[in-house]
């Protein structure tokens, strides 16, 4: 099954996503609390897919998408956003993210996004 990197500054959100993913056969190979750590883990672990929060300290999700895509143009990244972040989601998609999921997470939508991106 696919190897996933979860990126979110909120430990609770990472835990929720990890729970959904592991219950459905995905392997969570790493968790990062900010974009800088996400880039570092991505380069070391080369996950199949990344779930990326937008608003985080140190380096936001959009900058992290740009850096990961510069390192690996084929990276598969799904943005995670709160309601009302449409402009930022669009910027992330332009930067190379493949899809987005909205918080609070609906397990069906999370799994649908992963299947679509891993296609």
SS3 18: helix
pLDDT the model gives residue 73:
97
Q: What is the C-alpha to C-alpha distance for residues 62 and 46, in angstroms, rounded to an integer?
A: 19
Burial 17-51 (b: 16+ CB within 10 A, else e): bbebbeeeebebbbbbbbbbbbbebbeeeebbbbb
Cβ–Cβ under 8 Å, residues 6 and 42? no
Task: Kindly state the DSSP code that residue 40 receives in the 8-state scheme.
Answer: H
Give pLDDT tens digits for 55-71: 999 999 999 999 999 99
Q: What is the mean pLDDT of residues 20-31?
A: 98
**What domains sit in the chain, N to C, each tagged with a CATH number?**
3-118 (3.40.50.2300)
Please determine, for residue 52, whether its predicted confidence score (pLDDT) is greater than 80.
yes
Please determine, for residue 53, whether its predicted confidence score (pLDDT) is greater than 80.
yes
């Amino acid at each position: 099954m696919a190897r996933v990197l979860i990126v979110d500054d909120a430990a609770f959100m990472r835990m929720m996503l990890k729970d959904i993913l592991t219950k459905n056969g995905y392997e969570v190979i790493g968790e990062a609390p900010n974009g800088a750590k996400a880039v570092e883990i991505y380069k070391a672990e080369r996950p199949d897919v990344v779930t990326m929060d937008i608003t985080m300290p140190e380096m936001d999700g959009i900058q992290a998408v740009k850096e990961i895509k510069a390192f690996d143009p084929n990276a598969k990244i799904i943005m995670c956003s709160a309601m009302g972040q449409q402009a930022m989601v669009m910027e992330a998609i332009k930067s190379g993210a493949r899809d987005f999921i909205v918080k609070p997470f609906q397990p069906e939508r999370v799994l649908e996004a992963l299947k679509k991106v891993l296609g």
